[in-house]
Structure 1
């Protein structure tokens, strides 16, 4: 999303680092490029004006002139200001009051409200809560059916809404039903329109006044850029929303909505949709997003993703096997499955600090299909073959290739690379585990 902005900022910083001393002129020249990059990213022009002014004031101040590395200090200032622009720190969902606690999802048609309701249910359940889905969009019958199907898929209870009923009554009855179901959080999927109108806002206000939600979240499409900011302002002026969920952040949007919403509305982005899968809704962290834009990676999100899929007992057991050089193909397959649960490998690699600045690695696309082939090859082996790869002779290789829908050459390559990795692990084990990790994947 922020590739163009990241590239432009990187270019500016390189020029600033080339100056032994920062002057008003070279800072002004650099900030002109930053200004253009932000405007091209569809950031609101008033936001850009204030942002550039704040950076210029700080860059010409004492904190830079007294710095031994003024160019790097400017990068720090830009990072600080980007973070402040998006809200300083992550703001959580407000969940307080009598159970079940209502949360309203509002927004225009096509923003992804219904799917986001399912994603939010997944995220809350991971946190130990018991969500209850409430379809309150009676004008689009497919929305009710869609949410019911999501509920079945996720094993989350859904209120049996009737398309002929009044949305306010649906929400009031759902409060009672949710309590009987033993749920603690009501996720209300409200109606949308193709544009903001008086009728829509009136209905949403009636639901808000009767249900008294603990939080109101606007679901907005990041791909719409400044339109998303204007929509957020309209909904906030009428409903006093608690925050925003930006969907389609994995697309090719320019990023203006993410950088403008907090400044224009005063309300934070709380979550972002980073993919189509129901587990691809993430808390929004302004500081991490700023680091990512500046090519510094996002180590904390990487760690959180790892912690969410890694079994600590299995990890400790794996470490013992590695130290004793007992890491089998079966172990490798299990580790690969866990890594794939963390999401796209390309996205994970881009979270590594400095990765985006490496010209050779920047546009690297990891072939996810290769991982599928490797898993298929290992699954086609017998349990004994996975534990003792040395018994795999020519006839066994042919059988494994047939069973996995691959070629004998694919099987040979996997076994060869696995053998090389095992040799490397033995060397590392003898000299301690320092440096372990590079070249781990045998393909």
Structure 2
């Protein structure tokens, strides 16, 4: 991630603070000096660094701290607060309103990833239930409309553009009016990338803005452009008066501090950060969460949002109803794989879990994706009757041979997926139905009767059987699996994770646990 080097340097400074036997002004000065040097080397504006230094010194008065106070914690909190202030202008971004047209106008430098970002935002709001459309008003760059058309088609988002019309103002106005008439709620207008020295393109941007009258203008900024970020951001602010910023290419290894400088220079909030090329690689920005990530402190908020978005889809609701009844078919398993694929790369999702060992992720991405695609290919070769039933039909080896040949896999691989399905179907039966855990589980685990405790133990053992032995060992055995289940279960539960230890919604927790 961009700014990862900055995070390592700041963490190193905190480590030195922890080692110090006595914390005095000299130790504090050394810490602040290291943090300031790290910020400057990451292209953060020197005036911002000076202000941060002064604020830390002002807010941490070692002489006033009581003898029993934890000075290290006070200093770390002061540093964290000031780092958050660097990326938090305390300005509210525009919030779209339901059942009316909200027009977003996207502006930015050439090559910042603006067209891709347009589709990512559209897909984000579409997952939230908004009626979204895209308008391509970029007539300057060859292939811009083709790129937006391809992205929009992939994401199943309506779009508007023209191969013959050369006036971007006309295209923008026609597209916006068309989608307004069709009652679209969010209309995103993609404009040509431009540089602050290109006067004609800046004038064109103003004309488009006057024609479509956007509710909000968003500046798409390359998070890796360094010291030039502040000047460019100021020029766009003066010309387009944008209300918020989206930072792209935040999955790279560049310095990235220029992005922080741009926020301070324009007093505009960052609303999203782009972390990759896929449609799902867009995260909602929140200052404290961002700084925690920079410092290597994982935040599960993004993972929660992705899983919840996927669970709110119609297919997911149908699947959850089946699980509640204790029913689980091969088609249900196939739909689970599809939902996992929509969440994006597995390593990013699993990497969001606090305490997840780094070595567990080694090879997970390629191996997990390859295996899942292969399993889906096997199920593509099954008939409707085979998918909608249990695996009793596959007691006939001729069916297994047919599926193996049709999918270009081996008999062993087909039998392996059937075995995996059987294990999960047994667990679903334990959870669902009239006598299942989901219907009879008390919210307080201390009120569980012996039979319920036995059922819970059985289900946990079934969970463990589904995890490869090497992975289970890396997770810390059954105890580690239970700890991970509690961490993930608390975010979906009917009170899970709350003080007092309410039980999580087992079905949804298990769905999340089955991502691998």
Q: What is the deviation of 1:394?
A: 10
Report the CA distance shift for 1:33/1:329 in structure 2 as closer, same or farther (over 3 A).
farther
Query: Which segments of 5 or more consecutive residues in structure 2 lack a partner in the other structure?
Result: 431-453, 461-480, 486-509
Deviations 1:182-202 (A, max 9, x none): 223332212223553222222
Rounded Cα–Cα distance in structure 2 between residues aligned with 1:384 and 1:120: 35
- 2:366 is matched with 368
- 2:233 is matched with 232
- 2:286 is matched with 285
- 2:456 is matched with 429
List aligned pairs for 1:288-367, cutoff 5 A: 288-310=289-311, 311=316, 314-315=319-320, 318=323, 334-355=335-356, 364-367=362-365
| Match 1:380 to one of 346, 364, 378 | 378
Q: What is the deviation of 1:359?
A: 7.0
Q: What is the deviation of 1:154?
A: 3.8
Q: What is the deviation of 1:236?
A: 0.8
The answer to whether the 8 A contact 1:215-1:242 is kept is yes
Deviations 1:227-267 (A, max 9, x none): 23331121112222111111112222333134322212211
TM-score by length of 1: 0.80
- 2:59 is matched with 58
Q: What is the deviation of 1:26?
A: 0.9
Q: What is the deviation of 1:158?
A: 3.0
The answer to whether the 8 A contact 1:86-1:263 is kept is yes
Q: Which has the higher contact order (CA 8 A, sep 6+)?
A: 1
Asked whether 1:40 is paired with 2:41, we answer: yes
Report the CA distance shift for 1:64/1:104 in structure 2 as closer, same or farther (over 3 A).
farther
TM-score by length of 2: 0.70
Report the CA distance shift for 1:16/1:112 in structure 2 as closer, same or farther (over 3 A).
same
Report the CA distance shift for 1:365/1:90 in structure 2 as closer, same or farther (over 3 A).
farther
Q: What is the deviation of 1:335?
A: 4.2
Query: Which segments of 5 or more consecutive residues in structure 1 lack a partner in the other structure?
Result: none
Report the CA distance shift for 1:385/1:281 in structure 2 as closer, same or farther (over 3 A).
closer
Rounded Cα–Cα distance in structure 2 between residues aligned with 1:97 and 1:417: 43
- 2:437 is matched with none
- Number of aligned positions between the proteins: 436
Deviations 1:302-348 (A, max 9, x none): 21111111236644754785xxxx98887666545433432222222
Report the CA distance shift for 1:336/1:67 in structure 2 as closer, same or farther (over 3 A).
farther
Rounded Cα–Cα distance in structure 1 between residues aligned with 2:65 and 2:22: 10
Rounded Cα–Cα distance in structure 1 between residues aligned with 2:146 and 2:207: 24
RMSD: 4.1
Report the CA distance shift for 1:55/1:65 in structure 2 as closer, same or farther (over 3 A).
farther
Report the CA distance shift for 1:31/1:156 in structure 2 as closer, same or farther (over 3 A).
same
Rounded Cα–Cα distance in structure 2 between residues aligned with 1:24 and 1:236: 41
